[in-house]
Amino acid sequence: MKVGIVGLGYVGLPLCLRFGRAGVEALGFDRDEAKVAKINRRESYIRHIASSELAALIDAGRLRATADLAEIAECQAVLICVPTPLDEQGRPDMDCVFSTGKNLAPYLTEGMTVILESTVYPGATEQELRVILERGSGKRAGRDFSLAYSPEREDPGRSEVDGVGLPKIVAGLTPRCRERAVEFYRRITDQVVMASRCREAEAAKLLENAYRSVNIALANEFKLVCDPLGIDVWEVVELARTKPFGFQAFYPGPGVGGHCIPIDPVYLSWKARQHGVTARLVELAGSINTGMPDYVFEKTAEVLEQAATAMAQAKVLILGIAYKPGVDDDRGSPSYRLMELFATAGASVDYYDPHVPAIWAGRGHRHLAGKQSIGWTRETIASYDVTVIATDHREIAWQELGDWAACIVDTRNVMEPFAPVAGRLVKA
For the annotated catalytic residues, the residue numbers are: 260
Under 8 Å between Cβ of 198 and 171 = yes
Buried b (16+ CB within 10 A) or exposed e, 225-247: ebbeeeeebbeebeeeeeeeeee
CA distances from 221 to 170, 224, 238, 261, 410 (A): 35, 5, 16, 16, 17
Task: Let me know how long the chain is.
Answer: 428
Helices (H) and strands (E) in the chain, counts: 13, 13
370: exposed, middle or buried (Cβ count in 10 Å: 0-12, 13-18, 19+): exposed
Q: How far apart are CA 148 and CA 175, in angstroms?
A: 10
Side-chain half-sphere CA neighbours of 4 within 13 A: 25
Q: How far apart are CA 376 and CA 195, in angstroms?
A: 50
Q: Write out the E strands in 276-362.
A: 315-319, 348-352
